[in-house]
A and B are shown apart, each in its own frame.
Chain A
Amino acid sequence: MAILEEPIKRPLELQNYIGGEWVDSEGDKVDVVNPATMKTIARVPISTADEFDEAVQAAREAYHEWRRTPPLARARCLFRLRDLFEENFEELSRIQTMEHGKTIDESRGETRRGIEMCEVATGIPSLMMGENLEDIASGIDEYLIRQPLGVFGIIGPYNFPFMVPLWFAPFAVATGNCIVVKPSSEDPISQVKIAELAEEAGIPEGVWNIVHGGRTVVSAMLDHPGIKGVCFVGSTPVGRDVVYKRCGETGKRVISQCGAKNYALVMPDADIPRTVAACMTSFYGNAGQRCLANANLMMVGEGMTEAQLDGFYKEVADAFVDAASRITMGYGLDEAVQMGPLRDPGKAQRVVGYIATGLQEGARLRLDGREFSLVGDYPKDAFVGPTVFENVTPDMAIAKEEIFGPVACLMKARNMDEAIDVIHGNPFGNAASIFTNSGRWAREFQYRVECGNIGINIGIVAPMAFFPFSGMKDSFFGVLHGQGKEAIRFFTESKVVIQRWF
């Protein structure tokens, strides 16, 4: 099957984008490596705190005019950006595959999600409207207006290099704020392309800035008095113990979306072929590197005898393993490929470490992802195949900890109460799914489960751009979430005016 043409022909030398200028960093540069081919496709600078400060100063300067730009004019900039995303849809998608490793279908899906954020944010003249009430007392009126705050920082993760910063950036800019984006240094090219298109769309200089880097830039962002709020997506230890904590100390608003360990329940009345198809995408899509991926599959024997539950479990497990064992792996630009590599060999080794842990814990390795073949001749360094563990108990590390790789843990529960107790024993609360044809079970599940995103016969519970991307417990730190109306509230201050005229 055809390998799609690579849009990056030679290694790119990436620069920061500050105040409308593409500028070199004084920091060291590190290689951005395509994990499927292990070839260097770019070199990205690890910027200094001073360079971050320059970006904040540029953003603050731009803010004064940008916040006075009518919302309709700001929306038009985003319309143009959205159109440029469409015009460059294929190139943007292929870049994601090259820098991250995901398949081309997954990359196109990510591009689409990012575009949708932009589309929703273009509704800013309506979304940002305030509220009012006449005659709160005789002759006195009260109204609420939403005002932008200034400069926001956005810290992107490696697993969705194009989409995730767009959960925030269009909403921040549409509401009249300016932004400094720090892309993941592992796959920063998509954000560079977005900034190039933002420039082409006529977004004024200083409104949308990019500063590449690592911990130094993150620390500078968290400490900088000119940054009003921070949006972070990444691991729980960093999101909770560094970002959320430091934003609290420095008085910044924060959206900190973190790790996950998501459960999927299969009820006895589920449509098994469709459930298994949904599970393949959910467990192995993006090579398991997403916070909405399901990781634990639990067959629930509600109303069944133990023997019936064993039979039901076996039927689902066999179908699951059969489908997982047939997943094709390789370079995501090959249209025959269903699963790409992990982002880098270190991440692959981490997953392999968890496979060893699972064996030590006594789980049964039904499908071993350490043994695999690839479509095409590529280095195997960053690949791990679909892996399935059986006989997993909720207290095992493989069932509790976020592996962030293509590892599925299969379990049983006697009934829904027991299954929900297990879910609640998990520190995370990002997402959970149920596969059933029973409205009663589905409602019970959505009502009781303490997770921010609930799927009913849906394996990847990715909220659309006009809904908040929710999360609970150790999966989210903050109050308001990214996307939709909650993002509008996050990026604006509510100012109340009470007036009377003598």
Chain B
Amino acid sequence: MSDQPLTAAAIISFTERLEDASATFYEALAKAFPEHARTFEGYARDCGKHKVQVQRTYQETITDALEAGYSFEGLRLADYAVATDLPGGANLSDALRMALALEDTAIAYYTRVAEACESLLATIPRAFSRVAKRRTSRREELRDLAA
């Protein structure tokens, strides 16, 4: 997979999967740690919003005149694989460690794809940057929680 070129369609699909997996992960955390359910449920809801925002920006911006098939040279999706299955018996500290790793990867992904298509795909990179910023804020909250 890593050697295949990445079209905009492929990037959008990967983004959808990343946000879906993140949402499922935070929903599991909300169930496992009811004392923090509100926070984790909020994160899961935000993942849905991120997905919709990126999808909508892509669908509203994509035209045949943009370099949709050629904007993500050198990017390897394998670099952004995430672990989102919470192991049985994991405590809050384990879960937060996983969450932080997930956010690190997601932030790196969104930052990299925004850079890759910055000059070629008009408003799409801005949508990626917005999500990177939101997930950076989330990472700060998770760090506070873990402290």
B120 to chain A, nearest CB (A): 6
Which residues of chain A (447-470) have a CB below 8 Å from chain B? 458-462
Say yes or no: B59 contacts A285, CB within 8 Å.
no
Q: Is B71 an interface residue (CB 8 A)?
A: yes
B-contact 0/1 string along A324-346, CB 8 Å cutoff: 00111000000111110000000
Say yes or no: A336 contacts B10, CB within 8 Å.
yes
In the assembled complex, the Cα of A461 lies from the Cα of B65 at a distance in Å of 7
Task: List chain B residues, Cβ under 8 A from A336.
Answer: 4-7, 10
Q: Which residue of A lies closest to B61 (CB)?
A: A112
Say yes or no: A2 contacts B13, CB within 8 Å.
yes
Q: A326-B5, A328-B5 are in contact. Are A109 and B64 (CB under 8 A)?
A: yes
In the assembled complex, the Cα of A97 lies from the Cα of B8 at a distance in Å of 16
Kindly count the residue-residue contacts between A and B in the assembled complex, taking CB atoms under 8 Å apart: 91
| Other contacts beyond A104-B9, A109-B62, A336-B6: 13, CB < 8 A | A103-B69, A104-B7, A108-B59, A108-B62, A113-B63, A285-B69, A292-B65, A336-B7, A336-B10, A338-B70, A459-B65, A460-B64, A461-B65
In the assembled complex, the Cα of A476 lies from the Cα of B8 at a distance in Å of 33
Say yes or no: B70 contacts A277, CB within 8 Å.
yes
Say yes or no: B59 contacts A281, CB within 8 Å.
no
Q: Which residue of B lies closest to A455 (CB)?
A: B65
In the assembled complex, the Cα of A292 lies from the Cα of B7 at a distance in Å of 21
Q: Is B67 an interface residue (CB 8 A)?
A: yes
Task: List chain A residues, Cβ under 8 A from B4.
Answer: 1, 328, 336, 375
Say yes or no: A462 contacts B70, CB within 8 Å.
no
Q: Which residue of B lies closest to A273 (CB)?
A: B73
**What are 24 of the A-B contact pairs (CB < 8 Å)?**
A1-B1, A103-B7, A105-B62, A105-B68, A105-B69, A106-B64, A109-B62, A109-B63, A110-B64, A112-B62, A274-B120, A277-B120, A278-B120, A281-B68, A281-B70, A285-B69, A335-B10, A336-B5, A336-B6, A336-B10, A337-B7, A338-B7, A339-B69, A461-B65
Q: Is B91 an interface residue (CB 8 A)?
A: no
Say yes or no: A323 contacts B59, CB within 8 Å.
no
Task: List chain A residues, Cβ under 8 A from B120.
Answer: 274, 277-278
Q: A1-B10, A328-B4, A335-B7 are in contact. Are A109 and B70 (CB under 8 A)?
A: no
Task: List chain A residues, Cβ under 8 A from B69.
Answer: 103, 105-106, 280-281, 285, 327, 338-339
Which 5 A-B pairs give the minimum distances between C-beta atoms?
A105-B68, A109-B64, A460-B65, A338-B69, A335-B10
Number of A residues with CB within 8 Å of any CB on chain B: 36
Q: Is A79 an interface residue (CB 8 A)?
A: no
A192 to chain B, nearest CB (A): 22
Q: Is B52 an interface residue (CB 8 A)?
A: no
Q: Is A286 an interface residue (CB 8 A)?
A: yes
Task: List chain A residues, Cβ under 8 A from B67.
Answer: 277-278, 280-281, 459
In the assembled complex, the Cα of A427 lies from the Cα of B65 at a distance in Å of 24
Q: A1-B10, A105-B69 are in contact. Are A285 and B119 (CB under 8 A)?
A: no
Q: A112-B63, A460-B65 are in contact. Are A105 and B8 (CB under 8 A)?
A: yes
Q: Which residue of B lies closest to A278 (CB)?
A: B67
Task: List chain A residues, Cβ under 8 A from B8.
Answer: 105
Q: Is B35 an interface residue (CB 8 A)?
A: no
Say yes or no: B5 contacts A335, CB within 8 Å.
no
In the assembled complex, the Cα of A326 lies from the Cα of B3 at a distance in Å of 11
Q: Is A89 an interface residue (CB 8 A)?
A: yes
Q: A105-B7, A108-B59 are in contact. Are A281 and B1 (CB under 8 A)?
A: no
